[in-house]
């Protein structure tokens, strides 16, 4: 048997590929044989990738729809209610969402590599450790919800809007707590390729959300409070559905019940979770800062409306990118955990090319339809003109976002979270944010300058990740992953 990291004797994919490919040897066409082999490898890897990415994207889109539906119901109540629920979510909830989602992604590294190494018994312990860490963190973050109104006033929001958003934030506390249970469950199931259940439960949550929103807003007339509470029902359907599947025999190899081992080795787990959380939340906060900074410009109302439309369009595309983020992290972690660095490298290439192709297609559509993309959101000529000006930046953002999350997924699968956190901090906040300020104010480019400068920070970050990935020694990473699996096994 080959030793750890000996790639030459380990097949790139499951099964004996060469024996399954119908290659004609009569003409001795070696180039044709290589082409067939490469095509077959790409096909097999694409099937594995989409097996994870497809249901994940569907689940993310369903979850994103819950927010859009909530905003739609709030919008029918009045402009203040719409602004309040949007502010509560994009500022208060988004701050915690990015941190907890990022912390949960530590499971993609640990569970993914353990699954690849066939150390199935460790995965349930990792899940419980993640629950302990995230639940503790979610409790510590609760004061942000309790003091949402003064926080929003401190950020310069009008008093009546801050008061309404504060009420909505208080109603969203169960929504916040659900993150600590739901996010680890999703990563736990993704790591063992059980993504179908996530999609089905997400669909059920969306149906429940629409029903409860209609009941609370139109039948019980609970107003803003009703729209906020309806989100809680949707998220707890996710919690109940995923935990029920896990506890009731859906994961016989990886879940054997609660264990006191979950309380051991917590410090190492906390360090990896915090690094993962910082890596992702620096990205999610960055997009929020674009809106907050734009609000300080002249003609801020039109600028914010136009940028919000672009962000909404970009948000739909990001659901696809985040699907590939999760799928790439799982594929890379699985292969590295199995000691197969070459397969991890190949999975990275296929994922980057697939996601970039989708991103390029969507960016091209934005450029072609630049005059019409805002019509579904507004009929104001001023806003349509402003969105038209921003369409090129939107296309660039979509193209970058089709590559950058995939490379971040490679980082998660390989356990590079702490390094990427430093890269994000430098590129986003030491380069992108100051550059956006200079372009927006000093060069008087307005919202185009602010967003363009901050996109520049994203471009630099993407370039750095590309260089790191290209220069990666995958054999060495496979060896490290195998050693990490053994190390974490000792703590379990």
Instruction: Note the pLDDT of residue 21.
Output: 38
Give the pLDDT band of residue 212 (cuts 50, 70, 90). Answer: very high
Of 1-5, 113-117, 153-157, the range with the lowest mean pLDDT is 1-5
pLDDT exceeds 70 at position 299: no
Q: pTM here?
A: 0.81
Give how far Cα 359 sits from Cα of 48, 300, 377, 482, Å.
20, 30, 22, 34
Q: Measured between alpha carbons, how far is 360 from 450 in angstroms, rounded to an integer?
A: 23
pLDDT exceeds 60 at position 7: no
Give me the mean pLDDT over the 41-51 stretch.
91
Give me the mean pLDDT over the 202-221 stretch.
90
Q: Measured between alpha carbons, how far is 31 from 256 in angstroms, rounded to an integer?
A: 50
Backbone angles phi, psi at 175, to 5 degrees: -60, -45
pLDDT exceeds 70 at position 237: yes
Instruction: Note the pLDDT of residue 11.
Output: 36
Q: Measured between alpha carbons, how far is 455 from 436 in angstroms, rounded to an integer?
A: 8
Give the pLDDT band of residue 491 (cuts 50, 70, 90). Answer: low
Neighbour tally for 260: CB within 10 Å: 8
Instruction: Note the pLDDT of residue 91.
Output: 74
Give the pLDDT band of residue 377 (cuts 50, 70, 90). Answer: low
Give the pLDDT band of residue 5 (cuts 50, 70, 90). Answer: very low
**In whole numbers, what is the pLDDT of the chain averaged over residues?**
82
Going by C-beta distance under 8 Å and a sequence separation of 6 or more, which residues neighbour residue 271? none
Instruction: Note the pLDDT of residue 297.
Output: 64
Give the pLDDT band of residue 267 (cuts 50, 70, 90). Answer: confident
- The pLDDT tens digits of the residues spanning 452-473 come to 888 999 999 999 999 999 999 9
Give me the mean pLDDT over the 158-186 stretch.
89
Instruction: Note the pLDDT of residue 257.
Output: 87
Please choose, from the candidates 129, 111, 131, 130, the residue with its C-alpha nearest in 3D space to the C-alpha of residue 253.
Answer: 111
Of 201-205, 269-273, 391-395, the range with the lowest mean pLDDT is 269-273
Instruction: Note the pLDDT of residue 3.
Output: 39
Q: Measured between alpha carbons, how far is 301 from 112 in angstroms, rounded to an integer?
A: 45
First to last CA, the chain: 27
pLDDT exceeds 70 at position 2: no
Instruction: Note the pLDDT of residue 20.
Output: 36
Instruction: Note the pLDDT of residue 466.
Output: 93
Instruction: Note the pLDDT of residue 467.
Output: 93
Of 165-169, 233-237, 376-380, 479-483, the range with the lowest mean pLDDT is 376-380
pLDDT exceeds 50 at position 12: no
Higher pLDDT, 112 or 68: 112
Instruction: Note the pLDDT of residue 263.
Output: 87
Give the pLDDT band of residue 14 (cuts 50, 70, 90). Answer: very low
Give the pLDDT band of residue 487 (cuts 50, 70, 90). Answer: low
pLDDT exceeds 70 at position 330: yes
Give the pLDDT band of residue 69 (cuts 50, 70, 90). Answer: confident
Higher pLDDT, 308 or 9: 308
Give the pLDDT band of residue 376 (cuts 50, 70, 90). Answer: low
């Amino acid at each position: 048997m080959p030793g750890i990291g000996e790639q030459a004797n380990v097949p790139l994919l499951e099964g004996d590929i060469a024996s399954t490919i119908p290659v004609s040897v009569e003409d001795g066409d070696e180039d044709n044989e290589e082409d067939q082999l490469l095509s077959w490898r790409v096909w097999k890897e694409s099937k594995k990738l989409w097996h994870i990415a497809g249901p994940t994207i569907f689940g993310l889109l369903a979850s994103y729809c819950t927010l859009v539906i909530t905003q739609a119901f709030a919008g029918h109540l009045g402009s203040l209610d719409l602004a309040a629920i949007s502010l509560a979510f994009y500022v208060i909830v988004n701050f915690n969402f990015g941190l907890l989602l990022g912390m949960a992604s530590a499971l993609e590294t640990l569970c993914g590599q353990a699954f690849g190494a066939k150390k199935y018994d460790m995965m349930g312990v990792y899940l419980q450790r993640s629950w302990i860490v995230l639940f503790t963190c979610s409790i510590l973050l609760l004061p942000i919800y309790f003091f949402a109104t003064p926080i929003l006033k401190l950020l310069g929001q009008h008093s009546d809007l801050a008061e309404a958003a504060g009420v909505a934030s208080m109603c969203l506390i169960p929504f916040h707590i659900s993150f600590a249970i739901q996010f680890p469950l999703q990563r736990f199931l993704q790591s063992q390729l059980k993504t179908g259940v996530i999609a089905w439960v997400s669909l059920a949550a969306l149906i429940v959300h629409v029903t409860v929103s209609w009941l609370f807003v139109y039948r019980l007339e609970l107003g803003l409070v009703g729209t906020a509470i309806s989100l809680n029902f949707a998220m707890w359907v996710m919690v109940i559905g995923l935990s029920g599947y896990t506890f009731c025999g859906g994961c016989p190899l990886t879940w054997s019940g609660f264990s006191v081992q979950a309380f051991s080795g917590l410090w190492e787990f906390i360090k990896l979770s915090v690094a993962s959380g910082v890596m992702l939340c620096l990205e999610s906060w960055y997009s929020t800062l674009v809106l907050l900074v734009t609000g300080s410009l002249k003609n801020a109302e039109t600028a914010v409306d136009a940028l919000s439309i672009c962000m909404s369009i970009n948000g739909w595309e990001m659901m696809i990118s985040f699907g590939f983020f999760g799928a790439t992290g799982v594929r890379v972690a699985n292969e590295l955990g199995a000691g197969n660095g070459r397969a991890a490298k190949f999975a990275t290439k296929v994922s980057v090319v697939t996601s970039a192709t989708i991103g390029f297609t969507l960016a091209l559509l934005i450029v072609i339809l630049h005059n019409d993309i805002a019509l579904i959101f507004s009929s104001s000529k001023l806003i349509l003109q402003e969105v038209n000006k921003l369409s090129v930046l939107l296309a660039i953002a979509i193209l970058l976002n089709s590559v950058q999350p995939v490379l971040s997924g490679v980082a998660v699968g390989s356990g590079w979270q702490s390094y990427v956190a430093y890269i994000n901090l430098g590129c986003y906040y030491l380069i992108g944010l100051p550059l956006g300020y200079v372009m927006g104010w000093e060069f008087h480019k307005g919202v185009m300058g602010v967003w363009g400068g901050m996109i520049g920070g994203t471009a630099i970050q993407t370039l750095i990740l590309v260089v790191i990935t290209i220069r990666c020694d995958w054999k060495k990473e496979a060896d490290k992953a195998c050693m990490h699996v053994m190390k974490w096994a000792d703590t379990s």
